[in-house]
């Protein structure tokens, strides 16, 4: 996952101020820093294809109490960028054969697509501007519930996401590809399993390697409770849109 995606998802899901500074070496896939504010306030984020340092400054209000709300909105954020990121190195580190995929029918304006991996399931409600679809555009929904390598150890993750693909192969999904498809509305939701060790965040990314804003994330934080991420405005150049979970629980059979 790209750095700004992880930072943005954590800030939105927790409703707290977040200051994040990443190692600025894009040729090694390291880069992206930012200051994120809770709720519908503006943050500042920075991403550059050149190695180096950048001082990011933003007024941060004193937040005495954590936001106690079920739904948190994400609004447009400023990208402070000094060079073109077209050559920014991105890394897709996942075994596609372990994920479940379903292709989205881009010729159908309104559709609901359900995808599962074992007992982990979610549903996508999509509204597509079918006039702005090219034959080369390929989108799929995917689901995964399992253990993956993480640094020198492993982690149990749950992922349910819409992804753009370079071609019809599952291995090409998640690549940085240009698409013409416009989504009038996107929503992903489900009654997702959780315990005291589990948390879920938005997982979004566009072609500019920025998190998707103009969205609403709702989580009632109860066991097997409903979680939903939905857009509030038209979206295009979408690469990833979904939910990401991390847990210490045992993988279901």
106 in a structural domain: yes
What pLDDT shows up at residue 39? 61
128 in a structural domain: yes
Do 71 and 141 have their domain in common? no
Our count of domains for the chain comes to 2
Do 66 and 167 have their domain in common? no
Strand bridging mode 33-36 / 18-20 = antiparallel
86 in a structural domain: no
| d(C-alpha 201, C-alpha 4), whole Å | 13
| d(C-alpha 52, C-alpha 23), whole Å | 9
DSSP state of 30: B
Q: What is the DSSP string of 128-193?
A: EEGGG--TT-EEEEEEEEEEEEETTEEEEEEEEEEEEESSSSGGGBT-------EEEEEEEEEEE-
126 in a structural domain: yes
DSSP state of 25: B
185 in a structural domain: yes
90 in a structural domain: no
Do 48 and 161 have their domain in common? no
**What is the domain extent for residue 107?**
96-247
pTM (global) more than 0.85? yes
What pLDDT shows up at residue 220? 78
88 in a structural domain: no
Do 227 and 113 have their domain in common? yes
Name the helix (H) or strand (E) containing 11: helix 3-14
Do 166 and 138 have their domain in common? yes
Tell me the average confidence (pLDDT) per consecutive run of 10 residues in the chain, 253 residues long: 82 85 74 76 73 79 66 63 58 83 96 95 96 91 92 89 96 91 96 88 90 87 82 94 89 64
Do 38 and 101 have their domain in common? no
Do 214 and 136 have their domain in common? yes
What pLDDT shows up at residue 22? 82
| d(C-alpha 169, C-alpha 198), whole Å | 31
Do 113 and 11 have their domain in common? no
Q: What is the DSSP string of 65-97?
A: S----SEEEE---EEE-SS--TT--------GG
Do 102 and 160 have their domain in common? yes
Strand bridging mode 78-80 / 44-46 = parallel
């Amino acid at each position: 996952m790209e750095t700004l995606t992880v930072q943005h998802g954590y800030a939105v899901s927790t409703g707290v101020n977040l200051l994040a500074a990443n190692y600025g070496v894009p040729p090694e896939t390291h880069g992206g820093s930012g200051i994120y504010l809770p709720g519908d306030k503006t943050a500042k984020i920075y991403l550059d294809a050149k190695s180096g340092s950048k001082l990011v400054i933003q007024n941060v209000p004193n937040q005495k109490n954590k936001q106690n709300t079920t739904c948190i909105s994400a609004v447009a954020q400023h990208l402070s960028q000094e060079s073109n990121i077209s050559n920014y190195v991105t890394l897709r580190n996942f075994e596609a054969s372990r994920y479940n995929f379903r292709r989205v029918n881009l010729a159908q304006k309104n559709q609901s697509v359900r995808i599962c991996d074992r007992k982990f399931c979610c549903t996508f409600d999509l509204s597509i501007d079918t006039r702005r679809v090219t034959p080369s555009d390929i989108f799929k929904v995917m689901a995964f519930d399992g253990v993956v390598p993480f640094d020198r150890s492993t982690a149990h993750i749950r992922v349910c996401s819409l992804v753009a693909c370079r071609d019809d192969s599952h291995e090409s999904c998640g690549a940085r590809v240009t698409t013409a498809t416009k989504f009038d509305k996107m929503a992903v939701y489900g009654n997702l399993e959780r315990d005291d060790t589990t948390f879920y965040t938005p997982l979004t990314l566009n072609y500019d390697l920025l998190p998707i804003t103009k969205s609403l994330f709702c989580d009632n934080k109860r066991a097997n409770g409903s979680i939903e991420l939905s857009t509030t405005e038209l979206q295009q150049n979408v690469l990833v849109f979904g939910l990401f979970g991390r847990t210490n629980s045992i993988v279901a059979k």
